[in-house]
Amino acid sequence: MSPDELQGLAQQLRLPTGDVGLEVADHLNRGNAFIVKRSIEHLGVRGGERVLEIGMANGYFAADILGAGPGTRYVGIDLSETMVRSANALNGAYVAAGWASFLHGDALRLPLGDDLFDAALTVNTVYFWDPLERALREIHRILKPGGRVSIGFRPRHIMRHYPFVAYGFTMYSDNELTQHLKKAGFGRIQTMEYAEPPRDFDGTLLEVATTVVSAIKA
Ligand SMILES: C[S@@+](CC[C@H](N)C(=O)[O-])C[C@H]1O[C@@H](n2cnc3c(N)ncnc32)[C@H](O)[C@@H]1O
């Protein structure tokens, strides 16, 4: 891929927009199923809980969270208006039933009150949050005391080989993300790293790994 194409891809990963953004979201749902599902598992949602997902793209995995049991409620927030529209369309039945809602908003200024959620999830988003700690403090604010957060991301030692990260991605090691969570007020921080099969990117085989860091609002 040319530098211009890589930059375009990086922009769409950061903010999927328009028809290309809709295609990118479909691609992400296939390519990120493992990391999203592991991150949901680590959250351990129980029926009746209120869950926030930040950067849900088209909300393809909202059903996995709602499957935790009766009374579970899901809110998704994304900076991309294209993604919020698409998530509302894809999850229309859940939205109509009042089980799910999708909002346009920024992780750095969540349009939500304090102490509202039992659990919060975000996957493949921390690279774009500047400063990261502000968004982590926002997650801490909207969680109830004892609320859980689960963050899925590709760790720096894997991601630094991806050709598009030169265009606006900030990468983190497991330890760096743990330190940021501590500073934002979280405790009982646990990290798991999983290997995934390598993938072809534009003719080059790239290593893939998932890190999930989970923590509790002290
Ligand atoms: C790379 S996609 C990841 C989508 C999905 N979570 C996954 O792992 O496949 C990043 C998503 O985060 C959203 N996003 C980026 N910056 C954001 C911010 N500051 N606040 C909320 N959402 C943001 C983008 O619009 C996009 O939908």
140-168: per-residue pLDDT in tens?
999 999 999 999 999 999 999 999 999 99
d(CA 27, CA 149): 25
Q: Report the separation in Å between the CA atom of 132 and the middle of ligand 1, taken as the mean of its atom positions.
A: 13
Measuring from atom 24 of ligand 1, which residue has the nearest CA? 15
Measuring from atom 3 of ligand 1, which residue has the nearest CA? 124
pTM of the model: 0.97
pLDDT of res. 218: 85
Determine the 3-state secondary structure of 98 from DSSP: coil
Q: Report the separation in Å between the CA atom of 14 and the middle of ligand 1, taken as the mean of its atom positions.
A: 6
Ligand 1 shell residues, CB under 6 Å: 13-16, 28, 32, 36, 54-57, 77-80, 83, 106-108, 123-125, 128-129
Measuring from atom 2 of ligand 1, which residue has the nearest CA? 13
CA 115 to chain centre: 20
In sequence order, the β-bridge partners of residue 197 are: none
Q: Report the separation in Å between the CA atom of 16 and the middle of ligand 1, taken as the mean of its atom positions.
A: 8
d(CA 104, CA 79): 6
Spatial CA neighbour of 126 closest among 90, 194, 174: 174
What does the pLDDT look like over 208-217, one tens digit per residue?
999 999 999 9
What does the pLDDT look like over 62-95, one tens digit per residue?
999 999 999 999 999 999 999 999 999 999 999 9
Query: 107-130 burial, b for 16+ CB within 10 Å, e for fewer?
Result: beebeeeeebbbbbbbbbbbbbbe
Domain that holds residue 100: 3-217
Contact present, 193 and 172 (Cβ < 8 Å): no
Contact present, 62 and 92 (Cβ < 8 Å): no
Q: Residue 128 is part of a domain; what is its CATH number?
A: 3.40.50.150
Contact present, 58 and 22 (Cβ < 8 Å): yes
Residue matched to tokens 């265009």: 167
Q: Report the separation in Å between the CA atom of 124 and the middle of ligand 1, taken as the mean of its atom positions.
A: 7
Q: Report the separation in Å between the CA atom of 1 and the middle of ligand 1, taken as the mean of its atom positions.
A: 23
Decide if pLDDT at 191 tops 90: yes
What does the pLDDT look like over 16-69, one tens digit per residue?
999 999 999 999 999 999 999 999 999 999 999 999 999 999 999 999 999 999
Neighbours of 78 (CB within 10 A): 26
Strands 73-78 and 50-54: parallel
Task: Supply the mean pLDDT for the chain.
Answer: 97
- Structural domain count, the chain: 1
